[in-house]
Amino acid sequence: MKFQKSHSLQEIADLLSCEFIGDKDFPVLGMNEIHVVEPGDIVFVDHPKYYDKALQSAATIVLINKKVECPEGKALLISDDPFRDFNILTRHFKPFQFANVAIAPTAEIGEGTIIQPNTFVGNHVKIGKNCLIHSNVSIYDHTVIGDNVIIHAGTILGADAFYYKKRPEGFDQLVSGGRVVIEDNVGIGALCTIDKGVTGDTTIGAGTKLDNQVHVGHDTVIGKKCLIASQTGIAGCVVIEDEVTLWGQVGTTSGITIGAKAVVMGQTGVTKSVEGGKSYFGTPIEESREKLKQLANIKKIPEILSKLK
């Protein structure tokens, strides 16, 4: 998430009431999660296990809960609770904006696009040309939709990320300030849910088709011309490359990559990254031919035991 203008390190530290290490005029251009940070971004880290990863990332400002040596060319914000302070920044730079009409006046809707009754289009949404948005769709603020997109009834674009920190008193949610981006010629079935990024974009690539009741987690990037069947659940921060097929009831863990033109058969649990151009099946996931051989061999076990007796 980029800020509308550059801010100084001193300004951000004052906003958070925290100490800083570095030039008070050090430029702060935005804030992002570790996997999408760029120079000028703030990244937060609150566990020693991830200190080095954050400090050596592309981010040039690190919001951290311990005074450590500051890498050259970077700055530190010292906080007793970086998770809390990252939320403060999100709420400050991307505050919730109330809407009291079905289609917000700041929404941009392209020529030839049809929006059926009872659909909500939020603030600063952009919808391209010749789209068909069926009834009871909810399109949250800042969502971007390309041309020739079809979205069926009951689908929700832009709900919050499922991202929590456990506290003694319960779970504290990481505030979502990102977007959903739907590229041209995408088809989205009924009752799908696509969560916005925490600070970046959740993206559905051009020509991809989603069946009914598909869930896409925060910051996931789905490539072009993919097919995703009903009841598939895709976790956050997943990369699905071009022309991948996921059959019904596939589930994935977070932070993995599914290579281009891979085919994942129904009810498979994608527990790790997999190469493209192959077919996969089972939980934990394996190449389908190998998994089916294993299942065939398992069926032979009673016969083998009988012979041993």
At residue 304, the pLDDT reads 83
pLDDT band, very low/low/confident/very high, at 191 (cuts 50, 70, 90): very high
Q: What percent of the chain has pLDDT over 90?
A: 92
All residues at 6 or more sequence positions from 108 whose CB lies less than 8 Å from its CB, including other chains? 125, 126, 127
Split at pLDDT 50, 70, 90, the class of 247 is: very high
List the CATH number of the domain containing 74.
3.40.1390.10
Are residue 182 and residue 219 in the same domain, yes or no?
yes
For the stretch 129-162, pLDDT in tens is 999 999 999 999 999 999 999 999 999 999 999 9
Question: Domain check: are 77 and 18 in the same one?
Answer: yes
Q: Is 114 domain-assigned?
A: yes
Examine the residue annotation and report whether 7 is marked as an active-site residue of this protein: no
Would you say the pTM of this structure is higher than 0.85? Answer: yes
The sign one gets for the Cα dihedral 167, 173, 175, 178 is positive
The per-residue pLDDT for 85 is 98
Residue 290 in this model has a pLDDT that exceeds 90: no
With respect to residue 118, please indicate whether it lies within any of the assigned structural domains. yes
User: In this predicted structure, what is the pLDDT of residue 294?
Assistant: 84
Q: Which domain holds residue 212?
A: 108-292
Q: Which entry of 134, 152, 215, 218 is annotated as an active-site residue?
A: 218
Contact 3, 27 (CB under 8 A): no
Which bin fits 205, alpha (ψ -120 to 50), beta or left (φ > 0)?
beta
How confident is the model over 6-31, as a mean pLDDT?
A: 97
Residue 303 lies in a domain: no
d(CA 55, CA 77): 12
SS (H, E, C) 209-242: EECCCCEECCCCEECCCCEECCCCEECCCCEECC
CATH number at residue 151: 2.160.10.10
Euclidean distance between CA atoms 229 and 157, whole angstroms: 18
Q: Which residue has the higher pLDDT, 147 or 295?
A: 147
Q: What is the pLDDT of residue 68?
A: 95
Per-residue model confidence as pLDDT tens digits over 214-243: 999 999 999 999 999 999 999 999 999 999
| Burial of 72 per CB tally in 10 Å (0-12, 13-18, 19+) | exposed
Decide if pLDDT at 305 tops 90.
no
Instruction: Give 145's strand partners.
Output: 127, 182
Residue 296 has pLDDT above 90, yes or no: no
As a whole number of angstroms, the distance between CA 226 and CA 232 comes to 13
Residues 51-80 have pLDDT tens digits of: 999 999 999 999 999 999 999 999 999 999
The answer to whether position 308 is within a domain reads no
Inside any domain, residue 304: no
Any domain includes 306: no
Q: In this structure, is the dihedral angle defined by the CA atoms of residues 103, 132, 220 and 173, taken in order, positive or negative? A: positive
Tell me, yes or no, whether 119 and 75 share the same domain.
no
Q: Are residues 200 and 288 in the same domain?
A: yes
Helix (H) or strand (E) holding 291: helix 288-299
Task: Name the token pair of 223.
Answer: 């490539």
Give yes or no: residues 219 and 285 share one domain. yes
Question: Which of 186, 274, 176 minimizes the C-alpha distance to 217?
Answer: 176
- Is 229 among the domain residues? yes
**Is-contact 229 246, C-beta < 8 A?**
yes
Q: What is the pLDDT of residue 299?
A: 87
Mean pLDDT of 7-12: 98
pLDDT digits (tens, 9 = 90+) for 73-125: 999 999 999 999 999 999 999 999 999 999 999 999 999 999 999 999 999 99
Q: How far is CA 61 from CA 17, 23, 198, in A?
A: 16, 11, 18
Same domain, 23 and 166: no
Task: For residues 78 and 295, give the distance between their C-alpha atoms in angstroms, rounded to a whole number.
Answer: 54
Query: Which element (helix H / strand E) includes 258?
Result: strand 257-258
190 within a domain of the structure (yes/no): yes
- Please spell the DSSP secondary structure of 83-124, one letter per residue: HHHHHHHHHHHS------SSB-TT-EE-TT-EE-TT-EE-TT
Do 88 and 159 fall into the same domain? no
Where among 93, 122, 139 does a domain terminate? 93
pLDDT of residue 298: 85
